[in-house]
Structure 1
Amino acid sequence: MARTGIEYFDKHVLKDGFPDGSLILVAGEPGAGKTIFSGTFLYNGAKKFGEKGVYVSLAETKSEFYESMRQLGMDFEELENKGLFKFIDLVTVSKETIDKEIGLLIEEIAKFQPKRVVIDSISVFAQVLGAEKTRIFLHTVLGRFIKAYNSTALLIAEKPVGAEKIGYGIEEFVVDGVVILRYESFGEVTRRVMEIQKMRRRSVEKSQYEYVITQKGIEFLVIPELEREEIEYTVERITTGIDKLDKMLEGGVYKGSSVLLVGMTGTGKSTFALHFVIANALQGRKAVYISFEEPMDQIIRVAENYGIPIEEAMKENLKVFTWVPESRTPVYTFLKIREIIEEFKPEALVIDSLTSLRQHMDEKELAKMLRYLGLVIKANRITVYFTLNEGTDFEVVPFTGASTMVDVIIGLKYEIHNGNIERRMTIIKSRASNHSRKIHKYEITDKGVEIYE
């Protein structure tokens, strides 16, 4: 078997890796990640499994390939120096020289005896060689070598956007497996999906798998599983960072619970959230604040204006992350948040705000992402605050994808009385808690949030 070294792919997509002695077609639109996937297959083969690999390129030069892979943490020059990798450059091949080049190619491969071969791309090969000769090359020349040495070859094919036909329409009939990398559009973002259309000698549980391309290369969406019997339930509470709110919640929020702060712009959602993470960080808990709306300096300035000691907290246990979710899929956002959780292991987490995500994502996809994120949060016993920029009448929360997932909902709004803005708040729901049902007045002062009866 030829494992890719991509953990999720090897465990869940093809449990035993690609079959030895097989030709695998990897097809997809430009930018879908075909070269990255194939490069990862070769790199991990050498680094993790000690198997030699050959990359035959008709698309980019050696220096271009090495540089693009190096940016993803894969050093092919190191593998070449160790005798584990060979790059064969056929970028300048022509119809006049193709027959000679094929002879030299097979001679080079036979001499090196690799366990893994990638041809990028078979589409260009077919353009130069022609349909019939390409079939003969795949079926007899390359196919016989691969089976004789029990190797595995990935053949990259360009698939025009929206087209069903792959390359010249002949490659898929002479290969042992077909892997399609394709796009699905949801509003402003594009979701990447891997589809396994054919795989001889392998049982594929489902045909489609969602993935993203990050600085680590190909990453698949791993649906978290919550083993409820392994989680220790607790009645321990942690502070909201606001004494009056703690009393309204009978001593704070339960450890591992999720809180939704919902209200219009200017109601102080971020200020409530800053109180929460900073107070917990100063009490010795690791805390993370993720903002999709404000840059780092603005978050620090807001906290300092309200007398909240953010810089002291950041010296101790608080980490702040900011990025714009525009053109990012829910899967990318989920994986990035999960990565932060795995690296920093926070006990207190703020995600500010869900509104920014809704503006750039399909709502059903976002709700699915929040469900998966909720499982990760519960499994790690993290107390989390979400903010949502939405008007509320203290009775209905419009975004049901979030409201049904959380344990606590705090509604914030303002009213105009005699020409003055007066803020109101209430706890709309709090599971397993005899919380205050009153509507309270509050103000945002130079000491932060002040709540009154």
Structure 2
Amino acid sequence: MSRTGIEYFDEHILKDGFPDGSLILVAGEPGAGKTIFSATFIYNGAKKFGEKGIYISLAETKSEFYESMRQLEMDFEELEKEGLFKFVDLVTVSEETIEKEIELLMNEIVKFQPKRIVIDSISVFAQVLGAEKTRVFLHAMLGRFIKAYNSTALLIAEKPMGAEKIGYGVEEFVVDGVVILRYESFGEVTRRIMKIPKMRRRSVERPQYEYVITQNGIEFLAVPELKREEMEYTVEKITTGIEKLDEMLDGGIYKGANVLLVGMTGTGKTTFSLHFTIANALQGRKAVYLAFEEPVDQIIRAAKNYGMPIEEALNSNLKIFTWIPESKTPVYTFLKIREIIEEVKPEILVIDSLTALRQHMEEKELAKMIRYLNLLTKANRVTTYFTLNEETSFEVVPFTGASTMVDVIIGLKYQVKNGNIERKMAIVKARGSNHSRKIHRYEITDKGVEIYE
């Protein structure tokens, strides 16, 4: 077995990785991540399993390859010095010299005896050598070697953008497995999908898997799994940071619960969230505030305007992260949040706001991401606030994709009356709590949120 070293791929997609002695076709459009996936297979083979690898490139030079991989924290130069890796540069090979180069190449392979081989790309190889001679090379020469030495070879193939056909007659070669990396566009963003239509001696459970390319290389969406004990509510409650709201919630929020703050612009959702994060940070709980609409300095300034001790919180347990979700897929956003949770290990989390995510995602994609976040935060016992910028009537909560999954819903609204803004709030839902059923009036003052009967 040839594990890729990509944990989710080896554990959930192909159990134990690729079968030994296999020719695997890795096909996809330019930019889909074929080179990164194949290079990771070689790198992890050497680094994690001590297996030799050889990378045969007709696409980029050795220096270009080493530099681009170094940016993904894969140091192939180090592996080469350790005798675990060889790079073969065939970028400048011509039709006149290709057959001689193949002979030298096979001599090098037999001498080096790698367990892992990548040809990047077989499409260019077939262009130069021709389909028939490429077939002979793959089966009579390379194929014979990998069967004899129980090695695994990945053959990268270029697939024209949007085309179903792989191209250059490569699909006609008899390979043991096919991995297809492709783009799917929805809204403003492009999603990366892996499909495995063929893999001998392996069963693939799902028709496709979503992945992203980060500074860590290829990362797949791993859906969190909750054990029964993690799904049960704890009796411990924590503060909202607003005394009157704690009273309305019968003592605060259950630890690990998900809260949805929904209301129009100007109803104070961010202010409620700042009360929550700062108060808990000062009580010794690690807190994370994720902002998708405002920069860090603006959040700090808002807290100071309400007299909240945000500097003290930042110097103790509060961390603020901001990024713009535009052109980012739900998977990228989920993985980024998961990374923050794994690194910081917060007890408190604010995601402000779902509206910013919603503007760049399809509703069903956002609902799926919220479900995964719900599972992730509960598995890690993280009490979470989500904010949603939308009008609510207290009877009907918009965007049921979020409202059906959270434990607490707090509706916020305002109206202009006699030239004054009158704000009202209600706890629409609070699982397991004897919460207030009244509509309460509240104001945003220089001390933050003030709630009245």
- State the TM bucket, normalised to the shorter chain: over 0.9
Correspondences of 1:251-400 after superposition (within 5 Å)? 251-400=251-400
Which segment is superposed worse, 154-163 or 439-448? 439-448
Give 1:69's aligned residue.
69
- The 2-side partners of 1:375 and 1:381 are apart by 10
Correspondences of 1:403-442 after superposition (within 5 Å)? 403-442=403-442
Amino acid at match of 1:272: F
- The 1-side partners of 2:437 and 2:206 are apart by 48
Partner-residue secondary structure (3-state), 1:206: coil
- The 1-side partners of 2:285 and 2:252 are apart by 15
> Alpha-carbon deviation of 1:231?
5.2
Give 1:190's aligned residue.
190
Partner-residue secondary structure (3-state), 2:92: coil
Partner-residue secondary structure (3-state), 1:360: coil
Amino acid at match of 2:338: R
- The 2-side partners of 1:145 and 1:430 are apart by 64
Partner-residue secondary structure (3-state), 2:359: helix
Contact 1:138 1:174 in 2 (8 A): no
Which segment is superposed worse, 432-441 or 35-44? 432-441
Partner-residue secondary structure (3-state), 1:444: strand
Contact 1:166 1:172 in 2 (8 A): no
Partner-residue secondary structure (3-state), 1:194: strand
Contact 2:353 2:387 in 1 (8 A): yes
> Alpha-carbon deviation of 1:203?
2.0
- The 2-side partners of 1:99 and 1:234 are apart by 70
- The 2-side partners of 1:229 and 1:309 are apart by 36
Amino acid at match of 1:361: M
Amino acid at match of 1:441: R
When the two structures are aligned, how many residues end up with a matched partner?
453
Correspondences of 1:85-234 after superposition (within 5 Å)? 85-230=85-230, 233-234=233-234
> Alpha-carbon deviation of 1:172?
4.9
- The 1-side partners of 2:92 and 2:397 are apart by 61
Give 1:60's aligned residue.
60
> Alpha-carbon deviation of 1:170?
3.5
Instruction: Spell out, residue by residue over 1:296-326, the C-alpha distance to the aligned partner (whole angstroms, 9 max, x if none).
Output: 1111111111111111101111111111111
Instruction: Spell out, residue by residue over 1:227-249, the C-alpha distance to the aligned partner (whole angstroms, 9 max, x if none).
Output: 11355632211100011111111
> Alpha-carbon deviation of 1:206?
2.3
- The 1-side partners of 2:439 and 2:221 are apart by 42
Amino acid at match of 1:106: M
- The 2-side partners of 1:432 and 1:206 are apart by 36
Give 1:245's aligned residue.
245
- The 1-side partners of 2:237 and 2:135 are apart by 67
- The 1-side partners of 2:52 and 2:132 are apart by 30
- The 1-side partners of 2:174 and 2:62 are apart by 28
- The 1-side partners of 2:211 and 2:300 are apart by 34
- The 1-side partners of 2:172 and 2:404 are apart by 46
- The 2-side partners of 1:271 and 1:189 are apart by 31
Amino acid at match of 2:77: E
- The 1-side partners of 2:237 and 2:50 are apart by 51
Contact 1:178 1:196 in 2 (8 A): yes
Contact 1:56 1:87 in 2 (8 A): yes
> Alpha-carbon deviation of 1:108?
1.4
In structure 2, relative to structure 1, the CA distance for the partners of 1:134 and 1:199 (3 Å cut) is same
- Structure 2 unmatched ranges of 5 or more: none
TM-score scaled to structure 2, two decimals? 0.98
Contact 2:230 2:378 in 1 (8 A): no
Identity of aligned residues (%): 83
> Alpha-carbon deviation of 1:443?
1.3
Partner-residue secondary structure (3-state), 1:398: coil
Instruction: Spell out, residue by residue over 1:170-210, the C-alpha distance to the aligned partner (whole angstroms, 9 max, x if none).
Output: 34532111100011111111111111111112222223111
> Alpha-carbon deviation of 1:348?
1.0
Instruction: Spell out, residue by residue over 1:103-153, the C-alpha distance to the aligned partner (whole angstroms, 9 max, x if none).
Output: 111111111111111000001111111111111111111111111221110
- The 1-side partners of 2:365 and 2:230 are apart by 28
Contact 2:233 2:254 in 1 (8 A): no
Instruction: Spell out, residue by residue over 1:274-301, the C-alpha distance to the aligned partner (whole angstroms, 9 max, x if none).
Output: 1001000000111111111111111111
Contact 2:224 2:379 in 1 (8 A): no
Please report the RMSD computed on the Cα atoms of aligned residues, expressed in angstroms. Answer: 1.1
Give 1:23's aligned residue.
23
> Alpha-carbon deviation of 1:368?
0.8
> Alpha-carbon deviation of 1:224?
1.2
- The 2-side partners of 1:279 and 1:206 are apart by 44
